[in-house]
Amino acid sequence: MFEIGILIAENFNALHISAVNIFSETNTNNSENYRNKINKTMSTGTINVAVENIFPLIKKFLYSDHEIFLRELISNATDATLKLKHLTNIGEAKVEYGNPIIEVKIDKEGKKLHIIDQGIGMTKDEVEKYINQIAFSGAEEFIEKYKDTKGEDAGIIGHFGLGFYSAFMVADKVEIITKSFKDEPAAHWTCDGSPNYTLEEASKTERGTEIILHISEDETSFLEDSKIQGLLNKYNKFMPVPIKFGMKTETLPKPEDAKEEDPAPTQEVDNIINNPTPAWTKPPTDLKDEDYKSFYRELYPMQFEEPLFNIHLNVDYPFNLTGILYFPKMSKDMQIQKDKIQLFQNQVFVTDNVEGIVPEFLTMLRGVIDSPDIPLNVSRSYLQADGAVKKISSYITRKVADKLKSLFNENREDFEAKWDDIKIVIEYGMLTEEKFFDKAQDFMLYPTVDGKYFTFAELKEKLAAAQTDKDDKLVLLYASNKDEQHSYIASAQDKGYEVLLLDSPIISHLIQKLESSKEKISFVRVDGDHIDNLIKKDEEAISKLNDDEKETLKTFLTETIPADKFTVQLEAMDSNSNPFIITEPEFMRRMKEMQQNGGGGMFGMGNMPEMFNLIVNTNHELISEILNTKTAKKKERLVNQALDLAKLSKGLLKGADMTSFIKRSYEMIK
């Protein structure tokens, strides 16, 4: 019996990170910090770690999720295979590489799980070196040793030299039976989870490694086919070496002379659970539109809608990152769309929580990102501060912006057709990422209520003449609902104005930002005031009523109309404009909306009652009639009817008010 040793070296820091992380979710340590701390508190010396104490710790707490043991062991099997591939490529291993696969086998009766590879294998000495020293990474050593032969490009996954021991999270006893590609006898290592192990020669003759896990009593779910199938599908679906899990039946084409009723012949074949060459690992030039679409279906088999377009990420300096992002059709509900981007490292699935790695507005997209450069054994808050991660995040933002710009330039019509489905992402991005805001000026579209689309520059040029007010400000009129604001849109259009249709839930926030970042423009919703007030020109309005008449009218209306709901405002307008118009001042409405949609700093605004103005057009015939009608009852009836009509066109007439309006209207036409 021998004792397992722990390598007190660089990698101990990694061990520290992983182990500490389990105890504190908000841990912000990293190896650098840790080293500094040590340097500060002691001048020289060696840290003593008692193996008996550390081993159970690794066993229990190294990873919070027990299921990742399978990912780690398959990663090791993959590394072993890729190492052999590299060594045969550079002529250092003089053996046939062949078509190696990895096999996962359940032995239900023996309560064992086997992971078998045909990779590089280990000699007895190598087992001593790589397995018996915890936190010594053979993977890192390999990359370092073969860096002159591009060993760092071999796709090796391992890193900290801790993965193997995750096996003890689910197994009481672990065996390794391994035969190196070198001409040396096989080795058999056994360890029962204490720091004691045995190592002896074995009779295995074929190259490769078999790991045998004696699954512990409380982890027997890992002996279920469906459980293992699920894990393989989650973590290993795109790993680079074929992984076999059982057999499957394949239907063959019928022979030419087969009769109609003859069943198609079948054969038993290896059930390979992964696609070793997923689309993102291929150069973009090798992929057609259809390849991207079929990869999307592979990623989201339950998703029947096609993606709108994709962005292929591919960079190797100053960090390594590949991936494909898809723009799906967006619904208005932004929340439920998250958690759809999958993060991989060298084709091993890591997580579908990409918060902190991808800018928030892009978490609404789908697809995969693969980067070995994202530190994962650290907390999220540390991640956000990490320099490499920041660069990755801004690279992704830039790629997305560039793609949108080229789509806009290459096929504007198509871009316009997709606008409704992609605008949420763009608007949210403009609101939250300054760089994206700047870039988006080239492709952010402003649709009109009649289905035309303008960029901001085009809008400015087209509308400057008609819609610049007396203070030299360009007023952009918009509606948020074509039907509900129809009469307001109509009166703006009568004046020859263009009305935009801006209906996203976050539009008030974006408008606010646009107004403060651009000079001399303002946005107003068409029902913010009557049209002559929305775009104020220098023309002097002439009123049919004299001051006395105005006074009388105002007094009467204020008494008749509920003052808690409407503020009466007399205006001399075009005699063709409606006599009563209900408006909702832009500023108050916008603040209220911003508050409702999560705007900070406006606490309480969301609970404010709605404030409306009642604009009375003193030049309209009906107003003169109201003024001149002698009988109080008739006068009141006219006012109520006109008010109800104004409410109706603002969508405010409901309930009992609606019922009495209908009744009154019937009486009037009797």
Binding mask 162-181 for ligand ADP (x = CB under 6 A): xxx-----------------
Residue 477 binding partner per list ligand ADP, Mg ion, none, with a CB distance cut-off of 5 to 8 Å that depends on partner kind: none
Binding mask 34-73 for ligand ADP (x = CB under 6 A): --------------------------------------x-
Query: Does 117 carry a binding-site annotation?
Result: yes
Which listed residue (18, 71, 119, 437) binds ligand ADP by CB under 6 A? 119
CB neighbours (10 Å) of residue 186?
23
Q: What are the Cα distances from residue 249, in Å, to 201, 225, 267, 310?
A: 38, 17, 6, 35
Residue 160 or 326: which CB sits closer to ligand ADP? 160
Nearest distance in Å: CB 76, Mg ion: 4
Q: Return the amino acid letter for 566.
A: F
Residue 459 in contact with ligand ADP, rule: CB under 6 A: no
Q: At what angle are helices 225-235 and 68-89 packed, to 10 degrees?
A: 60
Residue 116 or 474: which CB sits closer to ligand ADP? 116
Query: Does 380 carry a binding-site annotation?
Result: yes
CB neighbours (10 Å) of residue 255?
9
Contact criterion met (CB below 8 Å) for 374 and 345: yes
Query: Does 281 carry a binding-site annotation?
Result: no
Any alpha helices (H) in 316-433, and if so which ranges? 380-385, 387-410, 412-432
Nearest distance in Å: CB 104, ligand ADP: 12
Query: Does 72 carry a binding-site annotation?
Result: yes
Which listed residue (158, 323, 359, 367) binds ligand ADP by CB under 6 A? 158
Residue 166 or 448: which CB sits closer to Mg ion? 166
Residue 79 or 593: which CB sits closer to ligand ADP? 79
Bridge partners, residue 324, by sequence: 312, 368
d(CA 310, CA 313): 10
Residue 12 in contact with ligand ADP, rule: CB under 6 A: no
Nearest distance in Å: CB 525, ligand ADP: 59
Query: Does 602 carry a binding-site annotation?
Result: no
Nearest distance in Å: CB 447, Mg ion: 53
Q: At what angle are helices 547-560 and 621-628 packed, to 10 degrees?
A: 80
Residue 132 or 393: which CB sits closer to ligand ADP? 132
DSSP per-residue letters across 531-599: HHHHS--SPPPPPSS-HHHHHHHHHHHHHHS-TTTEEEEEE---TTS-SEEEE--HHHHHHHHHHHTT-
DSSP per-residue letters across 62-91: S-S-TTHHHHHHHHHHHHHHHHHHHHHHTT
The closest alpha carbon to 273, from 498, 82, 103, belongs to: 103
Residue 433 binding partner per list ligand ADP, Mg ion, none, with a CB distance cut-off of 5 to 8 Å that depends on partner kind: none
Cβ-based neighbours of 371, under 8 Å, separated by 6 or more = 319, 320, 321, 322, 323, 343, 344, 345, 392
Residue 139 or 623: which CB sits closer to ligand ADP? 139
Residue 122 in contact with ligand ADP, rule: CB under 6 A: yes
Peptide bond into 185 cis (omega under 30): no
Which two structure tokens, joined as six digits, stand for 427? Answer: 């608007």
Residue 58 or 321: which CB sits closer to ligand ADP? 58
Nearest distance in Å: CB 198, Mg ion: 22
Residue 76 or 322: which CB sits closer to Mg ion? 76
Which listed residue (137, 342, 393, 504) binds ligand ADP by CB under 6 A? 137
d(CA 195, CA 255): 60
On the 0-12 / 13-18 / 19+ scale of CB atoms within 10 A, 453 is middle
Residue 77 binding partner per list ligand ADP, Mg ion, none, with a CB distance cut-off of 5 to 8 Å that depends on partner kind: ligand ADP
- Which residues here bind Mg ion, judged by CB under 5 A? 76, 158, 163
Residue 245 in contact with ligand ADP, rule: CB under 6 A: no
- Among the listed ranges 77-85, 275-283, 325-333, 364-372, the one in contact with ligand ADP (CB under 6 A) is 77-85
Q: What are the Cα distances from residue 20, in Å, to 29, 149, 373, 379, 383?
A: 9, 36, 21, 11, 16
Residue 207 or 423: which CB sits closer to ligand ADP? 207
Residue 579 in contact with ligand ADP, rule: CB under 6 A: no
Contact criterion met (CB below 8 Å) for 13 and 31: yes
Which listed residue (63, 69, 146, 160) binds ligand ADP by CB under 6 A? 160
Q: What are the Cα distances from residue 363, in Å, to 1, 293, 334, 396?
A: 52, 20, 10, 11
**Binding interface with ligand ADP (CB under 6 A):** 72, 76-77, 79-80, 117, 119-122, 130-131, 137-139, 158-164, 209
Residue numbering of the annotated binding site for ATP: 72, 76, 117, 122, 137-138, 209, 380
Residue numbering of the annotated binding site: 72, 76, 117, 122, 137-138, 209, 380
